[in-house]
A and B are shown apart, each in its own frame.
Chain A
Amino acid sequence: MSAERPFRIARASTSSRIGLGLVGLLFLLLAAAPWWAGRQDLRLLAEIYAYIALASLWNLLAGYAGLVSVGQQAFVGLGGYALFALALFGGVGPLWTIPLAGLIGALVAVPVALLVFRLRGAYFAIGTWVVAEVFRLLASQISSLGGGSGTSLPAAVVTSIAATRHAREQLIYWVALGLLVLVLGAVVLLLRSRHGLALAAVRDDEVAAGSCGVEVGRAKLLVYVLAAGGAAMLGALIFLQKLRISPDAAFSVNDWTAVVIFIAVIGGLGRVEGPIIGTLVYFLLRETLAPYGSLYLLVLGVVAIAVMLFARQGIWGAIADRTGWHLFPLERRVILPARSSSAGIGRPAADPHRAHSFALAGLIGGAALVMAGAQAAADRMADGKGPWAACRGPESCCGSPAQPDHAAMVQGRLRPDSDPAARGVLEPPPPQSPSSCGGHARACRSPNEPG
């Protein structure tokens, strides 16, 4: 009997040791980025961190708990507004608003969950979206935060982060990196614990999980609340970097959900590594396609649908399937000295029970992106501007790293190379002209302007 047989349970494997080593090295390198990277690179990196974190949280939701939410922008926006409200009315230091925003997001998620958890599948997806739209409408009613057109962080608040722009940008960069480490670390630790077993069981088969003692509803609620709190913290960070908020930017389904779904789906759902790979692919595509303006949304949508049709497991799924690699030591392997030579490491199997929700997620994400791309293209034609003229939303072009300061310029009403703190942020916006796009021949408009 094996009870008398000596055995050992190994958590790490060769690939996870190499993986963790690489992740550690990468972290050190990235923590030192302010010394080797330019301002624009720091902005781009911080944006990448935020997306890896958002996608990891969404992966926890859809990939593990089977909750295909299309409404995570509700919590990103809530976090952003929590930053502005706490900093403006509560006198809270801007960086301290980030954990508070997380707390608020988690608290608000409880009643929201009671509402949307009554819905299943596609109805759940739509329900979460509706909730986010309600949040957006509510935010546009807050006149002290600029109503529908939004507001900027006052100079006094901005300088309270750090005196100079340089110091502030470094600090925000490190906070972004820290938040990524926090979110990824929490996800990895959660999945490594016995609760990770429960979540994987729920991912693979809800009915069997329940019959094995896993409280499926409670597990889902926990994941939903965690994901909401994380999204709200990231929202506070994102809008701290932008220095300006509006309901449309804060509760944007394209920026905070469609892109995130794209990332999680192409990277590989139900795997920790998926969102990291997916984010890298997304930014590679975005940077490559940046000169083509809104066209990139169309390409992303098509890529997402193609991945859904031909590589359900996503990129990391395909890699792990062939190699058995894991970057993170999540699994438990039994080492039996005497007879276990034939006990090989199996490969993850395609899961028919979840496949439909993954497909649903991918198709919703893909369709949303295609729609956004098509809409942007239509707007461009309606505006009668040149082929490069259309910009929509803070992320789709104005925030793109080719002109990284651009978002701040348009949204925070800044001019290039001028410190808002020194100049005062709340001055009227400069006239929009191609020259305001950081030298690129594009006319950009703020998302809250009437189009």
Chain B
Amino acid sequence: MPPILALEGIAKRFGAVVVADGIDLSVQAGEALGVLGPNGAGKTTLFGIITGTVEPDGGRILFAGRDVTRLSPARRCRLGIARSFQIPQPFGGLTVFENLLTAACFGAGIAERAAYGECLDILDRCGLVEKANLRAGKLTLLDRKRLELARALATRPRLLLLDEVAGGLTEPEARQLVELIRALRSSGITIVWIEHVLHALAAVVDRVVVLHGGGVIAEGSVAEVVRNPAVAEVYMGIPVDA
């Protein structure tokens, strides 16, 4: 079976800033992969390239063996790639419930009425069901982050890309989130998770890659990469609490 996600020679630069310089990466179906790297390393941009909102300068993206490099973000979403946005991007004029309904109707291709129950279910799991009728633009930052995850789930993803969803959570909240993501993984969803909260990441993923300078500088378990001298160097000055 081909890997569910394969990046081949992905290159991207913004002017003089090289964020990807021939990145090769593959993720097996059912795997949970962590992504580390200092701010500005290009992690979020890589998610944009995978989901189709950022056009790479070179390279190919394969999803379950299929070349999706030229497909629209919407097509990729319908194939099963979903993401959360690091800076939440809710549909502010719609209610929380309608945010999920949009994702279910268009991302998962379910008829509106058939999606009601599933959307409420996801809201319940993400701790948002009491806020179903609130305008998403009125949510607190924390609830917006919950909505990011919930809306991504409503698209019925096969590959879920999470961008710093644990930042700012209290300990019990972080534990709940970890439980939820583990449950998603055991239901068969492949996870790629960008996260600075290392103990949360370590509780879910088997493998992490560290991005820096446009390439993968280290790979292994969380414990292995934090001991890696190259990683220690790029994080110099940034405390690593693992």
Q: How far is the CA of A231 from the CA of B58 in the complex (A)?
A: 43
Q: How far is the CA of A214 from the CA of B102 in the complex (A)?
A: 8
**Nearest-neighbor residue (CB-CB) of B53 within chain A:** A207
Q: How far is the CA of A336 from the CA of B133 in the complex (A)?
A: 11
**Nearest-neighbor residue (CB-CB) of A351 within chain B:** B92
| Chain A nearest CB, measured from B46 CB (Å) | 14
Q: How large is the interface on A (under 10, 10 to 19, 20 to 34, 35 or more residues)?
A: 35 or more
Size of the B side of the interface (Cβ < 8 Å), in residues, is: 50
A9 partner residues in chain B, CB cutoff 8 A: 116
Encode B88-127 as 1/0 by CB contact (under 8 A) with A. 0111111101100111011111001000111011011000
B90 partner residues in chain A, CB cutoff 8 A: 204-205, 208
User: In the complex, are the beta carbons of B133 and A3 less than 8 A apart?
Assistant: no
B214 partner residues in chain A, CB cutoff 8 A: none
Q: Flag whether A331 is at the interface (Cβ < 8 A).
A: yes
A336 partner residues in chain B, CB cutoff 8 A: 120, 129, 132
A347 partner residues in chain B, CB cutoff 8 A: 135, 138
- Given known pairs A2-B120, A213-B106, A214-B102, the reply for A208 and B93 (CB within 8 Å) is no
| Chain A nearest CB, measured from B176 CB (Å) | 15
| Chain B nearest CB, measured from A266 CB (Å) | 19
Q: How far is the CA of A270 from the CA of B92 in the complex (A)?
A: 12
Q: Flag whether B134 is at the interface (Cβ < 8 A).
A: yes
Q: Flag whether B78 is at the interface (Cβ < 8 A).
A: yes
CB under 8 Å from chain A, chain B span 37-84: 51-53, 72-75, 77-78, 82-83
| Chain A nearest CB, measured from B204 CB (Å) | 22
CB under 8 Å from chain B, chain A span 98-133: none
Q: Which listed residue, A205, A215, A340, A346, touches B91 by the CB 8 Å rule?
A: A205
B53 partner residues in chain A, CB cutoff 8 A: 207, 210-211
User: In the complex, are the beta carbons of A201 and B97 less than 8 A apart?
Assistant: no
Encode A437-450 as 1/0 by CB contact (under 8 A) with B. 00000000000000
A322 partner residues in chain B, CB cutoff 8 A: none
From A30-38, A151-159, A192-200, give the one contacting chain B: A192-200
Q: How far is the CA of A204 from the CA of B103 in the complex (A)?
A: 14
Q: Flag whether A216 is at the interface (Cβ < 8 A).
A: yes
| Chain A nearest CB, measured from B126 CB (Å) | 11
Q: How far is the CA of A215 from the CA of B72 in the complex (A)?
A: 8
User: In the complex, are the beta carbons of B52 and A210 less than 8 A apart?
Assistant: yes
- Given known pairs A194-B112, A215-B74, A331-B98, the reply for A346 and B133 (CB within 8 Å) is yes
User: In the complex, are the beta carbons of B155 and A212 less than 8 A apart?
Assistant: yes
B132 partner residues in chain A, CB cutoff 8 A: 334, 336, 340, 343
Q: Which listed residue, A3, A5, A333, touches B95 by the CB 8 Å rule?
A: A333
B120 partner residues in chain A, CB cutoff 8 A: 2-3, 5, 7, 334, 336
User: In the complex, are the beta carbons of A204 and B138 less than 8 A apart?
Assistant: no
User: In the complex, are the beta carbons of A213 and B92 less than 8 A apart?
Assistant: no
User: In the complex, are the beta carbons of A211 and B124 less than 8 A apart?
Assistant: no
User: In the complex, are the beta carbons of B93 and A2 less than 8 A apart?
Assistant: no
A351 partner residues in chain B, CB cutoff 8 A: 92-93, 137
Q: How far is the CA of A216 from the CA of B77 in the complex (A)?
A: 13
Q: How far is the CA of A198 from the CA of B135 in the complex (A)?
A: 16
User: In the complex, are the beta carbons of B77 and A211 less than 8 A apart?
Assistant: yes
Q: Flag whether A217 is at the interface (Cβ < 8 A).
A: yes
Q: Which listed residue, B74, B93, B103, B151, touches A200 by the CB 8 Å rule?
A: B93
Q: Name which of A198, A209, A211, A216 has the most chain B CB atoms within 10 A of its CB.
A: A211
Q: How far is the CA of A342 from the CA of B133 in the complex (A)?
A: 10
User: In the complex, are the beta carbons of A212 and B94 less than 8 A apart?
Assistant: no
Q: How far is the CA of A207 from the CA of B88 in the complex (A)?
A: 11
Q: How far is the CA of A134 from the CA of B72 in the complex (A)?
A: 33
**Nearest-neighbor residue (CB-CB) of A333 within chain B:** B133
| Chain B nearest CB, measured from A158 CB (Å) | 46
User: In the complex, are the beta carbons of A197 and B92 less than 8 A apart?
Assistant: no
Q: How far is the CA of A201 from the CA of B101 in the complex (A)?
A: 11
| Chain B nearest CB, measured from A441 CB (Å) | 50
Q: How far is the CA of A342 from the CA of B130 in the complex (A)?
A: 7
User: In the complex, are the beta carbons of B93 and A203 less than 8 A apart?
Assistant: yes
Q: Flag whether B182 is at the interface (Cβ < 8 A).
A: no
User: In the complex, are the beta carbons of A201 and B123 less than 8 A apart?
Assistant: no
Q: Flag whether A349 is at the interface (Cβ < 8 A).
A: yes
Q: Which listed residue, B77, B102, B123, touches A198 by the CB 8 Å rule?
A: B102
Q: Flag whether A348 is at the interface (Cβ < 8 A).
A: yes
A to B CB contacts below 8 Å, 26 in the list: A1-B121, A1-B124, A2-B117, A2-B120, A5-B120, A7-B116, A7-B120, A194-B101, A194-B105, A194-B106, A197-B101, A198-B102, A203-B93, A207-B53, A208-B90, A209-B91, A211-B82, A270-B93, A333-B97, A333-B133, A340-B130, A340-B133, A345-B133, A346-B95, A346-B135, A349-B137
- 9 nearest CB pairs, A to B: A349-B137, A213-B107, A346-B135, A213-B106, A210-B73, A346-B134, A208-B89, A2-B120, A204-B91
Extra contacts besides A211-B73, A213-B109 (11): CB < 8 Å? A2-B117, A194-B106, A197-B106, A204-B93, A204-B137, A212-B74, A212-B77, A340-B130, A347-B138, A348-B93, A350-B137
Binding site for A on B (CB under 8 A): 51-53, 72-75, 77-78, 82-83, 85, 89-95, 97-98, 101-103, 105-109, 112, 116-118, 120-121, 123-124, 129-138, 151, 154-155
